[in-house]
Structure 1
Amino acid sequence: EEGFVPLLRQVPGFVAYYWVDAGGGVMLSTSVFEDQAGAEESVRRAADFVRDNLASLLPEPPQVTSGQVVAAG
């Protein structure tokens, strides 16, 4: 919340960020942006943040998946 989320909030088109503890050591995050350019910039910033701050703590490199929202409630 103090290091990474403020970086995302600076990306143009930022809408929301969610971090989920799925249990069993599995964590996932979802970032929502107004457009593809914002989403791609967030991936670059996340990669830099992980490399500089978290890489030694992660047993596996993060997996990145992107797509368009097709339904919302």
Structure 2
Amino acid sequence: MFASVRTYRFSPVYIQEINNKLQEMFIPLLEQMEGFVSYDWITTPDGQGVGVCIFRDEEGLRESLHLAAEFRKTHFNHVGMTTPEIIIGKVGAHGAVEPQTIPSQRENLDDHPTH
């Protein structure tokens, strides 16, 4: 397996929009690609994001990098997202469990009403 780690910076006011577009639009594109294993997106409150993508083969991974670059230009040009720093390599160790659905921020707010 091969992985890429892409680190970005962007305006923190767009975190939820970025999260939503990646979940609803980008990940489904990756899931259609041959050899796709997983994608995770991590954000910090100050506007940093890290995308971790794993494919069974290097060719699929490299194709995903082109897809990510086009997606960033098309959907995130207005958020001040930087060109990422990218690390690519062969996966040396891997572990996983059955993925759980990550609740949306709206669901989290509904679980904790403010009074």
Q: TM-score, normalised by structure 1?
A: 0.87
Counterpart pick for 2:39 among 17, 20, 39:
17
> For structure 2, which runs of at least 5 residues remain unmatched after alignment?
1-22, 96-115
The reply on whether 1:68 has 2:90 as its aligned counterpart is yes
Map 1:1-73; keep pairs closer than 5 Å.
1-73=23-95
More deviation, 22-31/3-12: 22-31
- Aligned-residue sequence identity (percent) comes to 34
CA deviations over 1:1-26 (Å, ceiling 9, x no partner): 11111111111100011111244321
Query: CA 1:59/1:51 → structure 2, altered by over 3 Å: closer, same or farther?
Result: closer
Alignment-derived partner of residue 103 in structure 2: none
Residues of 2 paired with 1:56 and 1:18: CA distance? Answer: 22
Q: Tell me which structure has the larger Cα radius of gyration.
A: 2
Could you list the structure 1 runs, at least 4 aligned residues long, displaced by more than 3 angstroms after superposition.
none
